[in-house]
Amino acid sequence: MGYLKRCDGRIWIEFQTRRELMDRRRLEDTAADLVDRVREGVRP
């Protein structure tokens, strides 16, 4: 599960999952995909 929040003019992303549901590589891939999507959404 991922959360987005704004704090001090920044966007913070937090991920929570159970170890048995996602291995580290899959979590990193998911995080990278979410960061890409957020960047696309906040471009001027």
Q: How confident is the model at residue 25 (pLDDT cuts 50, 70, 90)?
A: very high
Q: Measuring CA to CA, how many Å separate 7 from each of 10, 13, 30?
A: 5, 11, 22
SS3 content of the chain, % helix, strand, coil (to 5): 45, 25, 30
Sole residue written with tokens 């979590």: 27
Q: How confident is the model at residue 43 (pLDDT cuts 50, 70, 90)?
A: low
Task: Give the span between the Cα atoms of 3 and 9, in whole angstroms.
Answer: 16
State residue 44's pLDDT score.
58
In the predicted model, what is the mean pLDDT of the chain?
81
